[in-house]
Amino acid sequence: MDVKEYVRQKRESQELEQKQKEQEINFKSDISQLVKTPNGRRFIKYLLSRNHPLSPIGINEPYKDAYNMGVRSVTTAVYAALTPEQRLLIDKENEVY
């Protein structure tokens, strides 16, 4: 690999990293906008309560488990994007009495 090729690959790698950082910022911003509405908070609570992102995964049926892990990865991404204050607000607002 010559120097020009190395520099080109390095530049592409940096551009990709920058795009990924921008996407993460946009995702967190979108989640924050969703949390601002009661319907959005209710949706996030439903998503978290249905998919349990922090519970262990059972391995029973490979195809079903693959689907569940996909849904769970989305749920985990949403959970990770929430701030602690947002999590508390969602839990408090959606408590079952």
Q: Global pTM?
A: 0.65
Helix, strand, coil abundance in the chain, percent, nearest 5: 80, 0, 20
Higher pLDDT, 66 or 9: 9
CA atoms within 13 A on the CB side of 6: 3
Residues whose CB falls within 8 Å of the CB of residue 78, separated by 6 or more in sequence, listed in order: 31, 44, 47, 48, 53
pLDDT on residue 57: 67
**Does residue 21 surpass a pLDDT of 90?**
yes
pLDDT tens track for 32-86: 998 999 898 888 888 888 877 767 666 677 777 777 778 888 888 888 889 999 9
* Residue whose pair of structure tokens reads 């020009």 in the numeric block: 4
Is residue 45 packed enough to be buried (19+ CB in 10 Å), middle (13-18) or exposed (0-12)? Answer: middle
